[in-house]
Amino acid sequence: MAGLRLGPLLRYVDEDTATVWVETARPALAEVRCADGAAGSARTFQVEGHHYALIPVTGLTPGTETAYEVSVDGRRVWPEPDSPFPASTIRTPDHGAPGPAPFRVTFGSCRWAAPPAGGHDPAGPDALDTLAAHLAADPGADRPDVLVLLGDQVYADETSPATRAWLARRRELSDPPGAQVADYEEYTHLYYESWRDPEVRWLLSTVPSCMIFDDHDLIDDWNTSAAWLADMRATPWWRERLLSGLMSYWVYQHLGNLTPAELAADPLYEEARATPDGTDALRAFAARADADPAHVRWSYRRDFGRTRLLMVDTRAARVLDEPERAMLDPDEARWLRDQALDTARDCDHLLIGTSLPWLLPHLIHDVERWNAAQCAGERGPRRARFGESLRRRADLEHWAAFPDSFDALTELIAEAGSGPAAPATVCVLSGDVHHAYVAEPRWPEDFPAGVPSSRVVQLTCSPVHNSIPATIRLGFRLGWSRPARAFGERLARRLRPSGSGIDWRRTGGPWFGNQLMTLTLRARAAELTLDQADPRRGLTRVTKRNLN
C-alpha cells in the first residue's frame, strides 16, 4: 500500500478552493478530506520514478478554518499517528465580509536545510523551525496567511554533511560535480532534507506558500553573464544539472504557485497527468527552457483580495548578450508591466517579489553600475575582461548590474504608485543578501513617470537559515555608510550620464541573523515586523513599524 513520502504542502487557497501537494511512495489515488465536508482527490503522476499529486480541494466555506486529513489509496497518512502538532487546517478568506480583516504576508529567503550535527547548528536556529514551534505552542497566535519564499529553498551547490555522505554512497565524489547535486534523484534528496523537517513539514501543511527560485536552487551566480553561461555549458556535468534543477523546480515548487484555472490550462501538467510517465515531456520542456528562456514564464501573479503579489523570475528570464543585456527578457518585462498597471481589479497594496533587491546599499549599487559599463566595453576590451572577472568574484549581478532594467523597474514602480487609483503601498520584497533592511526612495519632482503618491519601500529579509560571516556583516555596514556612499558617487561620475535620477535612504537595519519579515495589511494600512530566531527565547521581535 502506497504511503506518503513528502508533504502535504498547502499551496493555493482562496475563498472556496485550495490545492494540496503530496509525493507518494507508489502510484496512488491521493485524497484530502476536510472536517467541514470539503474534499478533493487526484491520481499521482510520475517523474523519474517519483509519484506526485496536486489535489484540488473544493467546497470550502469562505471565512472559515477547517482541519483536513490526507489519504493515499483509502488509508489515512496525515496527520501522522501520535503527532505532537496541532491539526493541519485550511483557513479561507472572506473578501466580502464587512470590516477589513488583516492579511499577513511572511517572507524571507536563503534556507540552508542542514540538520544540526550533534545538537549544534553552525548556522544558528532556523527561522522557519522557530516560527512553526511558536505557532504550534500557541494556536491562537497570529498566523501568516501566506509564506512568500524568495529563493534558495534548496542549495544544490552547498550540500550538508549528511547529504554529502548520502552522495558518497551513490557515486564517486572525486568526479565532477563532486559534493554538489548532479541529477534529478539527488535534487529529490535535497527537498526531503528540507521539507521532512518535522516543524517545517507541519508549518507548510497549514500555511499556504508562494515560491520562486534564486541562484542556489541551481548554482551560485546562475546566469551572471554570457561568459559565465558559456563556461558552464562547456562543462560535462552542467546540462544534466540544469535540466534536473528546472524539472525538480517545476514539480516541487512551481506547480503549487499556480491557480486552479492556470493548472487546468497548462499543457505540460495535462500531459504529465495523462501519460504513464511524464519524465520525457518534462525533460523536453526543461531543454526548451534552456535553449530559449523566453519560451517559459516562471513569474506569476496572485491576488489576495485587494492585495496583489507579483513574483518575478530574475534568474532564468535574463538576457545576457550585450548590448541587449537585461534582467528580464522583453516579453517578461511586458508581462510585469501589464500586471503592475492592471486596473481591472483595484488593489490597496502592490507587492513585487524579486529575489534580488531593487535598492541596495549605495556603494554596492554604484559599483555594480560601474562594473556593468566596464563589462559592456565602454573602456575597451581589456577593461571588459577585468570587469567580467570582478563581476564573478564579487557577485555583481543584482538589478543595478542591469542598469536599463533597474531604470525600467524604477519607472514602473513610480507609474504604478501614481494617480487616483494608486495603491496605498508598493512594497518590493527581496532576499539574497544575508541581512535585512528597509530602504525608501526619494523621487525628483520632475521624474518622467511621475512622483508616486503610494508609500514605496524596499523590504529585504535574508537569511531564513544560513551563516553570516563577519566579513559580510562588515561589508554591508560599510556599504550603507556615508564614506562608502561618497566613494560610490565618485565612481559613478566616471560613467556616461545615465540612471533613473532617484535617491534612497536606509530607514531600518541592517539586521543580521536568521529572520523573517511580516507585512500585516488591513484595508489601506500596512504594518511591518521583523522577527529573529533566538536559541533561548524562540521567535524574538526586532522591530515593528507602520508603513503608512
**In a shared domain, residues 155 and 197:** yes
**In a shared domain, residues 262 and 276:** yes
Gap between the Cα atoms of 228 and 318, Å rounded: 13
Neighbours of 80 (CB within 10 A): 13
Low-confidence residues of the chain, pLDDT below 50? 1, 344, 497
Q: What is the DSSP letter of 115?
A: P
Residue type, 192: Y
Tens-digit pLDDT profile for residues 342-354:
864 589 999 999 9
The CATH number covering residue 83 comes to: 2.60.40.380
End-to-end CA distance of the chain: 55
According to DSSP, the residues that pair with 111 across neighbouring strands are: 465
Predicted local distance difference test score (pLDDT) of residue 483:
79
User: In terms of C-beta distances under 8 Å and separation of at least 24 residues, what long-range contacts does 297-301 make, across chains too?
Assistant: 297/331, 297/332, 297/335, 298/212, 298/213, 298/254, 299/212, 299/332, 299/335, 299/336, 300/257, 300/258, 300/262, 301/339
The CATH number covering residue 306 comes to: 3.60.21.10
Cis previous bond, 139, omega within 30: no
**In a shared domain, residues 50 and 198:** no
C-alpha closest to that of 250 among 262, 273, 238, 268: 268
**In a shared domain, residues 518 and 377:** yes
**In a shared domain, residues 20 and 144:** no
Contact between residue 392 and residue 221 where contact means Cβ atoms under 8 Å apart: yes
Angle at CA of residue 70, ends 67 and 73, nearest 5°:
150
**In a shared domain, residues 86 and 191:** no
Of the residues 77, 99, 121, the one at which a domain ends: 99
Of the residues 41, 67, 99, the one at which a domain ends: 99
**Cell numbers 500557541 correspond to what residue?**
138
**In a shared domain, residues 74 and 131:** no
**In a shared domain, residues 49 and 139:** no
Neighbours of 138 (CB within 10 A): 11
Domain, as residue range, for 255: 100-349+356-546
**In a shared domain, residues 143 and 55:** no
Gap between the Cα atoms of 174 and 336, Å rounded: 44
Of the residues 99, 124, 146, the one at which a domain ends: 99
Residue type, 496: R
**In a shared domain, residues 39 and 172:** no
**In a shared domain, residues 431 and 459:** yes
Total tally of structural domains belonging to the chain: 2
**In a shared domain, residues 411 and 287:** yes
